Structure 1
Amino acid sequence: MLKLVVTDLDGTFLNNKGLFDIDLFNQVYDEMQKKDVAFVACTGKQCERVEKLFGEHGKGVWILGDSATRIKKDGEVVKEFTIEHDLAQQAIDEIQRFDPEVTIIACIRDTAYVLSTIKDELFNVVKGSYEKVVKINSFKQIDSDFNKITVFDIKSRSSALRKHVENTLLGQIYIVDSEPKWVDITALHTHKGETVKKLQNMLGVTFEETMSFGDGENDVELMSIAKYSFAVSNACENTKKAASFITKSNEENGVLLTIQKLLDLQ
């Protein structure tokens, strides 16, 4: 019996405009609540950005945000996972050696930090995923541990950047080039799959009772934590290969329609 539904947001649950079908969501989510099925948004987006995205419709939704480094529900932080400060600073140094012009986003709890020299158009890109963004003169001003480091490279060199950082830090961090322009760095063994496993343990939910959805390279692990794992039709090849099933695209409400069908069978 289905008890947990986990979905990535960008490119999976959200359409290409970054929106979702609110009426259909309310209909499906109401049915999920009646059948005691938990809904989880698992995303690189900041938890607070996800809260704003769902608004009044998000009551009871679990958020595994900031690349699954934070677990939040109904405004309360349940758990956080961090990269040790010096290791995070070392990662930033390596990124800047690769190209000092890439956009680095350093995430600490509910705040994303960017350099004050960031261009307006790139700042707007950051604001698309982060609700609270603060400009600072140097990342050396940060004296606490980090939740994650994200890089946006307008030149689409994420694979090369990942390999560059791995030359120094492989085995000390988790790093994934989720899309051609995006790289995420978190603590070792901290990624969507592992954080969902922790939530499954907290809720007493099994692999057989879980459904998952994804599209990007950073969703491959999501395909391994659920018996009913779905890649949307617009997903990358690695996620499709890892998934048990393929469903309709993010532009066709693939996630919500698939959940609806399985609920009808339950």
Structure 2
Amino acid sequence: MTIKLIAADMDGTFLDNHGEYDQVRFAKDYAALARRGIQFVIASGHQAIELATTFTDYPEMWLIGGNGAELWQRAVGLTATTFSPAATRQVLAALAPYPELQIALCGTHKVHVLTHANPQFVANMRDYYYQLETCADLTMITDPVVKFDIICPPAMTDQLVYELTPKLAGIAVPASGGQGSMDLIQPGMHKGRALKQLGEQLGISADEMLVFGDGTNDLEMFHYATHAVAMQNAPANVQANATAITGTNADNGVLAYIEQHVLA
């Protein structure tokens, strides 16, 4: 296979269970890919600005953030598509009947949570996002919103997706991140769309792309790229949509596959 672009999800895919990666091994592989003219792209639910701080040693790397709503490269800058203020208000109104939800409004630079939100939720959001601020009322936030990050009781996740899908039709799309978490993203705004946009910009077709993922929010990326690799730690429905399976995120499954099938 001829590969010109490799895209990898972050959490549960490229990063291990401690949120880290083998920097020495990656630097070696990244340099080898660059010599062959192969782009390495990170595609994540994280903000692009946060991803940029993680990969400061690779200024030429393209980053897909906000589950496809953001596209960033240092020389080019940030391109972001956000919810309209009216859509943001409609989403918050639809979430209001669910007091058990913990909600974060994710902008391009800041993430907002309620001042009285669960302290553990706030701490987790601070670990996950680059710049977090608390506020008394989410409806008062005027920053453009890229997505909504929601934590809910694990047993409630599937039912919540089922209920919110028709309520938010045409406004937002629920994307489960696993039992207990979900994102609300803009309709048509997903990693597959961003990958297609980047490919058109770089002159790279879907059959020249290799993608890695472990979650349902990676499936559009799987469906777009010809070569899709699921992690061994991915759920069965994600693995069923892949063309190959690699090791787990804990044992460098992404780099192992690249070394064996692209760089060998």
- What TM-score, normalized by structure 2, do the two folds share? 0.94
Question: Which amino acid in structure 2 is aligned with residue 62 of structure 1?
Answer: W
Q: Determine the structure 2 residue equivalent to 1:143.
A: 142
Q: Determine the structure 2 residue equivalent to 1:31.
A: 32
8 Å CA contact 1:154, 1:181 repeated in 2:
yes
Please give the alpha-carbon distance, in whole angstroms, between the structure 2 residues aligned to 1:249 and 1:155: 23
Q: Determine the structure 2 residue equivalent to 1:186.
A: 185
Please give the alpha-carbon distance, in whole angstroms, between the structure 1 residues aligned to 2:160 and 2:62: 32
Q: Determine the structure 1 residue equivalent to 2:63.
A: 63
Offset at 1:144? 4.8
Please give the alpha-carbon distance, in whole angstroms, between the structure 2 residues aligned to 1:217 and 1:110: 25
Q: Secondary structure at the match of 2:96?
A: helix
Question: Which amino acid in structure 2 is aligned with residue 28 of structure 1?
Answer: D
Please give the alpha-carbon distance, in whole angstroms, between the structure 2 residues aligned to 1:12 and 1:72: 20
8 Å CA contact 2:12, 2:249 repeated in 1:
yes
Please give the alpha-carbon distance, in whole angstroms, between the structure 1 residues aligned to 2:154 and 2:239: 26
Q: Determine the structure 2 residue equivalent to 1:263.
A: 262
Sequence identity of aligned pairs in percent?
24
Offset at 1:221? 1.1
Deviations 1:54-110 (A, max 9, x none): 343x32221111222111112753311112221122112222212x23211101221
Task: State which drifts further: 33-42 or 47-56.
Answer: 47-56
8 Å CA contact 1:106, 1:113 repeated in 2:
yes
Q: How large is the Cα RMSD of the aligned pairs?
A: 1.7
Please give the alpha-carbon distance, in whole angstroms, between the structure 2 residues aligned to 1:68 and 1:156: 27
8 Å CA contact 1:7, 1:42 repeated in 2:
yes
Please give the alpha-carbon distance, in whole angstroms, between the structure 2 residues aligned to 1:216 and 1:175: 13
8 Å CA contact 2:114, 2:138 repeated in 1:
yes
Q: For residues 11 and 128 of structure 1, do their structure 2 counterparts lie closer, same or farther at Cα, with a shift above 3 Å needed?
A: same
Alignment of 1:154-233 (within 5 A): 154-233=153-232
Q: Secondary structure at the match of 1:82?
A: coil
Q: Determine the structure 1 residue equivalent to 2:19.
A: 18
Q: Secondary structure at the match of 1:183?
A: strand
- What TM-score, normalized by structure 1, do the two folds share? 0.93
Please give the alpha-carbon distance, in whole angstroms, between the structure 1 residues aligned to 2:155 and 2:71: 29
Deviations 1:13-34 (A, max 9, x none): 1111111111110010010111
Query: Which residues of structure 2 form unaligned runs of 5+?
Result: none
Q: Determine the structure 1 residue equivalent to 2:53.
A: 52
Q: For residues 121 and 54 of structure 1, do their structure 2 counterparts lie closer, same or farther at Cα, with a shift above 3 Å needed?
A: same
Please give the alpha-carbon distance, in whole angstroms, between the structure 2 residues aligned to 1:253 and 1:173: 34
Q: For residues 205 and 10 of structure 1, do their structure 2 counterparts lie closer, same or farther at Cα, with a shift above 3 Å needed?
A: same
Question: Which amino acid in structure 1 is aligned with residue 77 of structure 2?
Answer: V
8 Å CA contact 2:154, 2:181 repeated in 1:
no
Q: Determine the structure 1 residue equivalent to 2:86.
A: 86
Q: For residues 179 and 25 of structure 1, do their structure 2 counterparts lie closer, same or farther at Cα, with a shift above 3 Å needed?
A: same
Paired residues, what number?
A: 263
Task: State which drifts further: 143-152 or 7-16.
Answer: 143-152
Query: Which residues of structure 1 form unaligned runs of 5+?
Result: none
8 Å CA contact 1:70, 1:80 repeated in 2:
yes
